[in-house]
């Protein structure tokens, strides 16, 4: 499966300023993310940014970068602009890889891309949850699937709700009950990616604060690749950055 990776990278970050340019073993974080995409076998890798310093840092390391508008409401809108400006074929598969995921498993990118087909314009990933604290945490987004591993719904709530077991005890997950945590990695067929920004925002999206619910609300299927374990965490805070910097320093 041939696919293109577009990496949205904004300089502004409330919790971690200048995050894409943070040093990881002698290279900016956004460059390390692009290197992961190379390991996945992407046919082309483009960093989509709103700041010249990120574009310059990428080009210094041989990474293609494109300056986008600064007012996009989401990363999806940002990569749609890039795909349109680059005249990518409408059937091209585009993977949206966040610029703060320097430890992402390259296999996940391949798996997400492979789920795109003539009848599936969008895909994402998930992994099993085994901890009750995660299952009941609204910051951990859950997804339920149909028999074809397509998303029925995404929620911050605990879904599916185990009626009988949870009526008795919520301190542990019952045997055989394995909720799925959504992993925020997406792939799109480019024709759908171009149509997405014009889709009406759904009420569900507003309630849950989950952008992907717009897609389901409009009736488009989202295929979900289920991986066995949680991927390495991204970089959101100074503590996250220190952890990842230590890994690169140790050669891990």
On whether both 62 and 121 belong to a single domain, the answer is: no
pTM of the model: 0.93
| Final residue of a structural domain among 55, 86, 101 | 101
CA torsion angle 223 229 231 237 (round to 10): 120
On whether both 118 and 224 belong to a single domain, the answer is: yes
Q: What is the reported pLDDT for 169?
A: 93
Domain that holds residue 221: 105-231
Q: What is the reported pLDDT for 158?
A: 98
On whether both 110 and 226 belong to a single domain, the answer is: yes
On whether both 115 and 42 belong to a single domain, the answer is: no
Side-chain-side CA neighbours of 134 within 13 Å: the count stands at: 15
Residues 8-61 have pLDDT tens digits of 998 876 678 889 999 999 999 999 999 999 999 999 999 999 899 999 999 999
pLDDT (average), residues 92-119: 96
On whether both 135 and 182 belong to a single domain, the answer is: yes
On whether both 132 and 201 belong to a single domain, the answer is: yes
Q: What is the reported pLDDT for 252?
A: 59
Phi, psi of 188 (to 5 degrees): -140, 150
Decide if 61 is inside a domain.
Answer: yes
**Judging by beta carbons within 10 Å of its beta carbon (0-12, 13-18, 19+), is residue 200 exposed, middle or buried?**
exposed
DSSP 155-198: ESS-SS--HHHHHH--SSPPTT---EEEEEEEEEEHHHHHHGGG
Beta bridge partners of residue 64, listed in sequence order: 46
Residues 149-174 have pLDDT tens digits of 999 999 999 999 999 999 999 999 99
């Amino acid at each position: 499966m041939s696919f293109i990776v577009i990496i949205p990278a904004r300089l502004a970050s409330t919790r971690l300023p200048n995050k894409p340019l943070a040093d990881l073993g002698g290279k900016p974080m956004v460059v390390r993310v692009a290197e992961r995409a190379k390991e996945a076998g992407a046919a082309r890798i483009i960093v989509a940014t709103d700041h010249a310093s990120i574009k310059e840092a990428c080009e210094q390391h041989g990474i293609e970068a494109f300056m986008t508008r600064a007012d996009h409401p989401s990363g999806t809108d940002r990569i749609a602009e890039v795909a349109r400006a680059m005249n990518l074929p409408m059937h091209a598969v585009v993977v949206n890889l966040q610029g703060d995921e320097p430890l992402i498993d390259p296999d996940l990118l391949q798996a997400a891309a492979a789920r795109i087909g003539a009848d599936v314009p969008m895909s994402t990933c998930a992994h099993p949850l085994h901890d009750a604290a995660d299952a009941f945490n609204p910051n951990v987004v859950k997804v339920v699937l149909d028999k074809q591993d397509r998303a029925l719904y995404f929620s911050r709530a605990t879904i599916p709700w185990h009626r009988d077991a949870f009526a008795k005890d919520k301190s542990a997950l019952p045997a055989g009950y394995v909720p799925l945590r959504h992993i925020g990695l997406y792939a799109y067929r480019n024709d759908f990616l171009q149509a997405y920004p014009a889709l009406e925002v759904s009420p569900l999206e507003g309630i849950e604060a989950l952008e992907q619910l717009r897609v389901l609300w409009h009736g488009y299927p989202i295929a979900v690749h289920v991986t066995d374990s949680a991927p390495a965490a991204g970089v959101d805070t100074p503590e996250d950055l220190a952890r990842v910097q230590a890994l690169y320093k140790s050669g891990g």
